Amino acid sequence: MPFTPLRQRSSWRALTAHHRELASIHLRELFSTDANRGERLTVEAAGLYLDYSKNRITDETMRLLFNLANESGVPVRRDQMFKGVHINVSENRADLSFALRMPKDSSVILDGVDVVAQVHGVLDQMTKFSNSIRSGEWRGETGLPIKNIINIGIGGSDLGPVMAYEALRHYSRRDLTFRFVSNVDSTDLAEALRDLDPAETLFIVSSKTFSTLETLTNAQSAREWIVGSLGEESVAKHFVAVSTHEDRVREFGIESTNMFGFWDWVGGRYSMDSAIGLSTMVAIGPENFMEMLAGFHEMDEHFRTTPIERNLPVIMGMLAVWYRNFFEFPTAGVMPYDQYLKRLPAYLQQLTMESNGKHVTNEGDRVDYDTSAIYWGEPGTNGQHSFYQLIHQGTTIIPLDLICFANSLNPLGEHHDILSSNVFAQAQALAFGKTADEVHADGSLEDIVANRVMEGNRPTNVLLAEVLTPRILGALVALYEHSVFVQGTVWGIDSFDQWGVELGKILAAKITPELLSESEPTLDHDSSTSTLIRRYRTLKKNGEHYGN
C-alpha cells in the first residue's frame, strides 16, 4: 500500500504541533477544566472496561490520533488481515490468528481450504487427548495414569502456555502437575524432573518448526530420561508433539497420531490459542479452553467491526504511538494487580517487542521514527515496594497499564479491596502527584519539602474486569495482539516476522563446537569473543569435577 511516509502525513504534522501545546499541560488542569472526563474517556469491550482519562490527551488529541490511524490505513489493513491478505510481507504470508478462535460454523478460505474446519479438527483431537489424560484413560508404559505434564518449548511455544497455565490455575486440575521447560540450561530440565516418576510423566514437545535447538536438546534429554527408565518402546506413551512439521516429529520418534498440528499462518507469539495451548487445555479442560477462545473471538469481532473511535485495541494502540513518538517515552509498564497474571508481563514483552522492535519498513527503508517501546512489568502491589519509586519521582516518564478485577478468585477478608484500592491510588498519585503547597500543608519539615513533592502528570490506563475467567484472559490477550497490530501498521513495519533473532543463532552454532572441542580450537573471532572462549575453556578444565 503506497502510504505517505509517516512524518509527512498531515495528521502526524498536526499531532506534532498539538503535542507542543499539550506537553506542558498537567493532568490536574485537564481534570479541573473537564468535569466528566473520567466518565467520557472510557470504553468497554468483551468484558474489559478501559479508563483512559488519566492520559495526557484531550478530545482533540484523540481526534488527531484517529486521523493518524486512518491516514496510516489501520482500518484498511485490519480488513485485509481478516480477509487473509499477505500482511506478513517479509515472509509473504497471511496472519490468520483470528481463525484459531472462530466458531465451528464459520469459515475462512485460504488457498481453497477452509482453515476454520482444520482448526476445529485439531481442537477435537486436542479435546480427546485432554479428556483421556484427565480421566486417567491414557496410561503410561507401566499402566499407571499420567500425573505430570511437562511442556518443552521456547519463545512463543513456551511463554503463552506458561502464562495461560498460571493465569488460569484456579480452573486447573490440582491433582495434575504442570511444568514448563524452555531454557537449554540443563538446570531447567533437571529441576523440572528431579522429583517426578517417569512412569507417570508425559512430555508435550511444542515447536512450530521442530528444529529449534533448545527444544530439541531438551526433548532429546527428556527422551533419554524416559527410555533409561522405561525402555525404548515407551516413547509413544510418554511423548506427544505440537508442530507444523510432521516429518520432523516422526523422525524424533513420535507417531503422527500423537501429533497436534498448526499452520504457517500462525506466528509463534500468536499461538497460545492453537495446539501450542495443549497443556492449557489439559490443565483447565476443553470447555474452559473453548471459553478462552470465545473471549479471543469476542475481542476480534469488536476490533473488526467497531468504529475506530470506540475501538479498544485502536485506542490503546494509538495511545502507545502518542507516547512513543510524540512524547518520546522509551518504555511502558504493564502491571497486573492479580497474582495469577504474574507471567503476563513476560508474555507481553515478547508480543510487543518481538512484533514491533523493527527498524525497517515494509518498503525496506530505515525508519526515521521510533518503533516499539520497551515493555516490562510485575504484579502489583509488589512493584510498588520496589521500582514504583522511579515511576513516581524518576526522570523518565513511564506510561502504565494497570490491570485489575472487581472480584478475587480467592476471597479472603479485606485482601481484595486493599489490593484494588492500591490500583486506584497509584493511578491517582501518578496523575495528580502532590504539590509543594500540599506537602507544606501536611506540616513537612522545610528541608525535605522538595523530596516529598510528586510532580504527577504520569499517564496510566486502568483496565478493569469483573473477575479473571478463561474468557476474560482470551479477550485481554486479543486486545494486546490487536493493539500491537495497530502500532505496527502506523509504523509501517511487519509485526509478524522476527529476523533479528537469527544472527545470534548462527553465531552460537559456530561457537558450540569450539567450546566442546577436546583439542584447542583455532579461533578467528574478534579479540573479545576469542579471549572469552579461551578463558571459558580454561575455567571449564579447572572445574572438571563438576562433571561437565
Q: Which residues bind ligand G6Q (CB under 6 A)?
A: 154-157, 207-209, 212, 215, 267-269, 354, 498
How far apart (Å, rounded) are the C-alpha atoms in residues 178 and 172? 10
Residue 511 amino acid letter: I
Please tell me which residue in 86, 128, 505, 540 is annotated as part of the active site: 505
How far apart (Å, rounded) are the C-alpha atoms in residues 375 and 371? 12
Cβ contacts of 291 within 8 Å, gap of 6 or more: 469, 470, 471, 474
CB of 153 or CB of 399, closer to ligand G6Q: 153
Which residue's Cβ has the minimum distance to ligand G6Q? 155
CB of 6 or CB of 192, closer to ligand G6Q: 192
For the bound state, the minimum distance from the C-beta of residue 224 to ligand G6Q, rounded and expressed in Å, comes to 20
For the bound state, the minimum distance from the C-beta of residue 207 to ligand G6Q, rounded and expressed in Å, comes to 3
For the bound state, the minimum distance from the C-beta of residue 211 to ligand G6Q, rounded and expressed in Å, comes to 7
Please tell me which residue in 354, 378, 481, 514 is annotated as part of the active site: 354
For the bound state, the minimum distance from the C-beta of residue 250 to ligand G6Q, rounded and expressed in Å, comes to 16
Please tell me which residue in 233, 385, 446, 545 is annotated as part of the active site: 385
**Region at 9 (left for phi over 0; alpha for psi -120 to 50; beta for the rest):** beta
For the bound state, the minimum distance from the C-beta of residue 113 to ligand G6Q, rounded and expressed in Å, comes to 22
For the bound state, the minimum distance from the C-beta of residue 477 to ligand G6Q, rounded and expressed in Å, comes to 14
Cell of 508: 552460537
How far apart (Å, rounded) are the C-alpha atoms in residues 96 and 481? 12
CB of 71 or CB of 246, closer to ligand G6Q: 246
CB of 95 or CB of 338, closer to ligand G6Q: 95
Q: Is 354 a catalytic residue?
A: yes
How far apart (Å, rounded) are the C-alpha atoms in residues 140 and 146? 6
Q: Which residues are bridge partners to 239 per DSSP?
A: 203
Residues in the chain, total: 548
Cell of 224: 533419554
**Region at 14 (left for phi over 0; alpha for psi -120 to 50; beta for the rest):** alpha
Phi, psi of 463 (to 5 degrees): -105, 120
Nearest partner of 245 among 202, 203, 204, 206, judged by Cα: 206
CB of 269 or CB of 471, closer to ligand G6Q: 269
CB of 22 or CB of 159, closer to ligand G6Q: 159
Which residues participate in catalysis according to the annotation?
A: 354, 385, 505
